[in-house]
Amino acid sequence: MTEHLLDQLQTAQPVALPAFSGAILGLQGDVLHGWAMDNTQPENRPVIEVFIDGASVALARADQYEPNAPMGDQYHGFAVQLRQRWLDEACLITARIANQSFELDGQLSLPAAPSDDSASIASQVWHTGGLRVGGWCWDPKAPDRHVEVTVREGDQVVGRAVCNEHNQALAYRATSDHGFAIDLPWELADGKVHVLEIVNDLGQPLAGSPIRLCCWPEGVEGLLQKLDPAHDAATVALLTEVAKDQTMRLPKSAGWHHYPQWFEVFQRLDTLPLPPLQGKLGVLLLSDGDSGLEQISLNSLGACNAGAHAVAIAPPSNLLPALTQLLEGDCDRILPMVAGDRLAPLALAHLSALLDDGSAWAFADCDRDGPQGERSLPWLKPVWDIDLFIGADIFTPGAIFGASIVKQALALLTTRGVNTPVNWYDFTVGIALATENSDASVTHLPRVLYHRAPHTPASPEQQQPSPQRLQAVEWLCQQLAPGATVSQVAEYPALLRAHWPLPERLPQVSLIVPTRDQFKLLHACIEGLLNDTDYPNLDIIVVDNQSSDPQTLTYLADLTKRGITVLPHPHPFNYSTINNRAASLATGELIGLVNNDIEIIEADWLKEMVAQALRTGVGAVGAKLLWPNRMVQHGGVITGINGLAAHVGNNLNEHDAGYLATNQLTHCQSAVTAACLLMRKARFEELGGLNEIDFPVAFNDVDLCLRIRCSGLHLVWTAFAKLIHAESASRGKDISAEKRARADREQHRFIGKWSIAEQTDPYYHPALSHDYLSGTYGGLALPPYNITSRS
């Protein structure tokens, strides 16, 4: 027997480590911290699934620095922000490796005992690989205090910020102004590895700190271009394509602070072939008589000055004599410049060449000369958009016009009177009207070719209000739609708003509101539609998707008695099917898709959307949606962000101007959210409604909008229909593995169908940030996407 035991001991295998290990370390404020690792492959970073009372609420990858992780390289930590309303009702927090049975140690019973540890300052820091670090930091012991954070590399401070910016992650708190964004020094983009620690003003590291930075401005493909392709051209070509794909999926950005260095790397023209000057070009110099400013502009034509066959100087109050001089001199293209503004070196040839393909007119981007001649304040523009032009003219600085469109504009302006002077604003609205009337081709070159003078306003909303522009734009709108009026935007009087006419008999609007339980949300939404919306011809359809809450069922029965259609839908949740079914029964000329977590705050919201939707060429209209704390939840949708799509404005307050004042101006977008979307019923049916097969829950609205655009119609987002949207509040916190798998399928189908990697959003500049950290309009792309001309 002893021999048998010895044999067993000699042949016993060593005890194997479990496949996974990890633990919940604690809850700091509303941020859950912990670590997890794959013991068999420590270089892998597993995904953690967090549960509150057995319901899955969040996913996070365990790839942050965590010194308490006992093995590996210590980059096995995670930090997950949980909504406070979940925690208020919770009893138990657990976590496990996603799609595995392994549960992390250290489950938390709630309410947790309050901690006296100052480390309970809640925080998160994010970094996507570029020259920007963002996040938030909030002291629950002093909620009104704005914590200061510092970025260090070793003993050297490389960045510092006070956490006083609005942050999307804090949208569900009473105050959201505890975010920060820090632009790291451009010198760190040297291709070397830098380890940066981010600490609060108590010297404690933020969740997610330290970070590793290895950045090269031109990206991996830029490095590959430096290789000699003669050695292995096929391999270099393959690696370049792989690098481009990685750039699309993992975009990087730099902050606006780095614009001067970014300009030198990506915007200089001396590395590009110089196109030949064709035709006969004239320069229209707008001047109040300052010869010094005039000379600055003329000198900027440089070596291309010989190509400016004629120069005519005119006061901004009357351009007609100068324009006539240039046209009678057989100039076939006219370049306006304001005295004191400059063209970039070699820009004249590149601007002129934009008309060689038959475009009626074209425009490039512009920036402003700094006090020392440095580059600053770029206006990185979308393609031509008459709605945005009505609000603010960002297009004509850096524009060039063909003679034909100029003649058409002047002919239209003569209808006001033969001897009426043509000021600058008259001229630009004449160009806009001629463009719309003839569906003229307008080309945008996404390069900075025009430098505004140092004294010019930084952004359109900072300009002086102009009665002349107000008068000119009102004439334009009346030509487009008789009965239209124009007013100044209340908080920004330099900006304008068009009020499009409504028919005397308002068309019926069918509003479709899907719901499942959620009585409080549904009640606020429906009562707001019935009592707080100034629109007399409503058809409301509530689609009941398997409600079981007694209070909700009682309310639905009451709505039926009040004449509201309640459509039972006793089937699994499919947002597309629910809305398509209700739309087929709608009696309205227009249909509106409305989430049940929408709250009415302004009575005229629907009239504004109807007026937009009835305009010629408009396919659908989206609204300005706000979180309950009045941060912007939806300012339109940009496609291509991280290869997918993202909302605009999530870091803005409702009153902020936004980039180029777009948060306060109606303009075109590639897509808008179906949380509040209005369009003609006939058009919805022509397009086949929402895609029930490929996009049952997510991306169905973006897919619909992109199909609308492909049909030749525009998507309009209006800043003047404002509502509250508690995003996803109605869908609760149950995120099952099956639902996550469905979400992944829809994401891949969206990428496959629309090939976002192969295109850029026409209403979003390709040199703007495309990563979630910076957000839309949050910075400068490293490197920029395709910056060839577009229309």
**pLDDT tens track for 470-488:** 999 999 999 999 999 999 9
The structure tokens listed for 624 are: 């300005």
In this structure, the answer to whether residues 200 and 119 fall within a common structural domain is yes
The proportion of the chain whose per-residue pLDDT surpasses 70, expressed as a percent, equals 88
Whether residue 338 is found in the same domain as residue 396: yes
Let me know whether 191 and 233 are in one domain: no
Within this chain, do residues 181 and 234 fall inside the same structural domain, yes or no?
no
Residue 259 domain-assigned? Answer: no
pLDDT at residue 89, rounded to an integer? 78
In a domain, 704, yes or no: yes
DSSP 8-state secondary structure symbol assigned to residue 355: T
Q: What are phi and psi for residue 202, nearest 5 degrees? A: -100, 5
Q: What is the pLDDT of residue 447?
A: 97
The answer on 297 and 225 residing in a single domain is no
**Longest CA pairwise span in the chain (Å):** 121
3-state secondary structure of 497: strand
Q: Please provide the DSSP assignment of 610-634 as one string.
A: HHHHTSTTEEEEEEEEE-TTSBEEE
**Paired strand residues for 122:** 138
Q: Can you give the three-state secondary structure of 139-170, one letter per residue?
A: CCCCCCCCCEEEEEECCEEEEEEECCECCHHH
What pTM was computed for the model? 0.84
Lowest-pLDDT range, 6-20, 80-94, 234-248? 6-20
Per-residue pLDDT at 521 exceeds 70: yes
Choose the final residue of a domain: 201, 231, 250. Answer: 250
> In this predicted model, what pLDDT tens digit does every residue of 115-133 receive, in sequence order?
444 446 788 888 877 898 9
Q: CA-CA distance, 184 to 212, in Å (whole number)?
A: 12
Q: Report which residue type is found at 507.
A: P
Q: To the nearest whole percent, how much of the chain has pLDDT over 90?
A: 60
Mean of pLDDT over the chain: 88
- Res. 418 pLDDT band, cuts 50 70 90: low
Higher pLDDT, 593 or 220: 593
The sign one gets for the Cα dihedral 439, 441, 444, 450 is negative
Residue 684 to residue 562: CA distance in whole angstroms: 28
Whether 641 is in a domain gets the answer no
d(CA 399, CA 427): 13
Domain co-membership, 209 together with 223: no
Q: How many CA atoms are closer than 13 Å to the CA of 633, on its beta-carbon side? A: 25
Does 297 lie in the same domain as 184? no
Residue pLDDT, tens place only, 188-215: 988 888 999 999 999 889 888 888 888 8
Q: Is residue 683 part of a domain?
A: yes
pLDDT of amino acid 676: 98
The whole-number pLDDT of residue 733 equals 40
Residue 85, amino acid: R
Residue labelled with tokens 């040199």: 767
170-174, 257-261, 485-489: range with highest mean pLDDT = 485-489
The more confidently predicted of residues 442 and 224 is 442
Burial annotation 725-741 (CB, 10 A radius, 16+ → b, else e): bbbebbbebebeeeebe
- Looking at the fold, whether 323 and 431 belong to one and the same domain comes out as yes
For 96-112, what is the mean pLDDT?
A: 83
For the segment 590-595, the average pLDDT, to the nearest whole number, is 98
Confidence of residue 112 (pLDDT cuts 50, 70, 90): low
Domain extent, residue 390, equals 281-481
147 and 242 inside one domain: no
pLDDT the model gives residue 307: 64
pLDDT at 419 over 70: yes
Q: Is residue 490 part of a domain?
A: no
Question: Quick one: pLDDT at residue 9?
Answer: 38
Q: Is residue 13 part of a domain?
A: no
Give me the CATH number covering residue 386. Answer: 3.90.550.10
* Shared-domain flag, residues 234 and 304: no
> Helix 424-438 to helix 467-480 angle, to the nearest 10 degrees?
20
Tokens 């304008």, located at residue: 496
The reply to whether 714 and 579 lie within a common domain is yes
Question: Cβ distance 667 to 387 under 8 Å?
Answer: yes
Q: Residue 534 above 90 pLDDT?
A: yes
3-class state of residue 415 by DSSP: helix
pLDDT at 522 over 50: yes
Quote the number of domains for the chain. Answer: 4
Query: Distance between CA 408 and CA 420 in Å, rounded?
Result: 16
Which residues are CB-contacts of 117 (< 8 A; sequence separation ≥ 6)? Answer: none
Split at pLDDT 50, 70, 90, the class of 220 is: confident
pLDDT at position 12: 44
Strands (E), 339-427: 342-343, 361-369, 375-379, 399-402
Residue 500 belongs to some domain of the structure: no
Question: Bigger pLDDT: 40 or 346?
Answer: 346
pLDDT in tens, 674-712: 999 999 999 999 999 999 998 888 889 999 999 999 999
Rounded average pLDDT over 551-556: 96
Q: What is the pLDDT of residue 738?
A: 63
Are residues 475 and 596 part of one domain? no
What pLDDT does 222 receive? 72
Q: Is residue 257 part of a domain?
A: no
Q: What is the pLDDT of residue 743?
A: 67
Confidence of residue 513 (pLDDT cuts 50, 70, 90): very high
Backbone φ, ψ for residue 766 (5° rounding): -65, -15
Q: Which of 244-258, 327-341, 405-419 has the lowest mean pLDDT?
A: 244-258
User: What DSSP state is assigned to residue 214?
Assistant: -
